[in-house]
Amino acid sequence: MKVVITGGAGFLGLGVARQLLKRGALAGPGGKPEDIDEMVLFDAAIPKKKPAGLDGWAKMLAGDIADRDQAGALIDRDEIAVFHLASVVSAGAERDFDGALRVNLKGTRNVLEALRARQGARRPRLVFASSVAVYGGALPAAVSDATRETPATTYGMTKAIGELLVNDYARKGFVDGRSARLPTVIVRPGPANAAASGFASAVFREPLAGRDYALPVKPSTRIMVLGARNAVAGLIRLMEADAAALGRDRAVALPNRAYSVEQMIAALEKVAAEQRIRLGAIRPAPDAGVEAIVGSWPLAMDDARARARALGLPADASLEQIIRDYLEDFG
């Protein structure tokens, strides 16, 4: 089997690649493990040096997912699984509407059409990375997979359309697609990206590195999060899930919990004390644009479907454990 990861040079893409390389196999359309004999990590830009944890046969390729020919060249065999993670993210999409449409909509359609063209004896599988940003406006106390999507951002709009495309391509039998409705994934290493949710990682990452951090949101701000290890495991498990367990609605809210920034800082200080880490200072630096985007997102999401036995997607034990995992993986 060939595995393609678009957005493969990003945080989640690299995480998925590393885990699959350790396993060496992925369940195919028949539900049985199939050996992975080829892997391509595709992104708009790739590092000059191959990241740690990638075997020599994992290829990194730079290109434009919005280019139909490039997308088609990636998907060049029937025995294939695609993790479609490439995207212009939240704040970046607000600044560049046309770029968001080009990458998030045209790019997703290119991937789906390339998979549709590869239909052989079996339907190829796809996991599309969606987001809680598909919700917005007047929201109930807790959203669910059945809540009407009324996104309040360009990013959320493109993800909602992507989910609908995946559902319809699956309904038509073109692709065995599934959409992972991700909460904010933490803790991301390295430099910040253009995501409005970036503060939820930076509030841990920067102080743990001994750097001061300017917090762009109020301490009372709440946000739904999922630890990086379980986000990666959830994407892989969703790829391997039985199509019958998903039914007609292929969008699944991944397990999550909502925390306030105050709770995040308290957990950070607890783990730092345990491990004798001297933290950098956290100071307020309100950013109305970031607060507006984050404030449009739901504060609670029912993840019962994801946790149910049929899917069994993994959930976090605590914020403290997420921080400990980050220090073990990237500290």
Tell me whether the omega of the peptide bond preceding residue 103 falls within 30 degrees of 0, making it cis. Answer: no
Question: Residue 121: pLDDT band by 50, 70, 90 thresholds?
Answer: low
- Report pLDDT digits (tens) over 226-268: 999 999 999 999 999 999 999 999 999 999 999 999 999 999 9
Euclidean distance between CA atoms 132 and 154, whole angstroms:
13
Contact 40, 5 (CB under 8 A): yes
Number of H helices, E strands in the chain: 13, 14
Domain ranges of the chain: 2-182+226-255+300-316
DSSP 113-145: HHHHHT-SSSPPEEEEEEEGGG--SS--SSB-T
For every residue of 11-54, which 3-state class applies, written as one string?
HHHHHHHHHHHHHCEEECCCCCEEECCEEEEEECCCCCCCCCCC
Name residue 232's amino acid. V
Lowest mean pLDDT among 26-30, 65-69, 214-218: 26-30
- Report pLDDT digits (tens) over 267-326: 999 999 999 999 999 999 989 988 988 888 888 888 889 988 788 999 999 999 999 999
Does residue 194 have a pLDDT over 70? no
Residues 6+ apart with CB under 8 A from 202: 192, 213
Does domain 2-182+226-255+300-316 fall under CATH 3.40.50.720? My reply is yes
Tokens of 52: 């740690």
- Of 134, 178, 176, which is closest to residue 158 (Cα–Cα)? 134
Euclidean distance between CA atoms 78 and 115, whole angstroms:
8
Euclidean distance between CA atoms 176 and 173, whole angstroms:
7
**Active-site amino acid positions:** 155
Tokens of 256: 């999550």
Euclidean distance between CA atoms 222 and 200, whole angstroms:
10
Question: Residue 131: pLDDT band by 50, 70, 90 thresholds?
Answer: very high
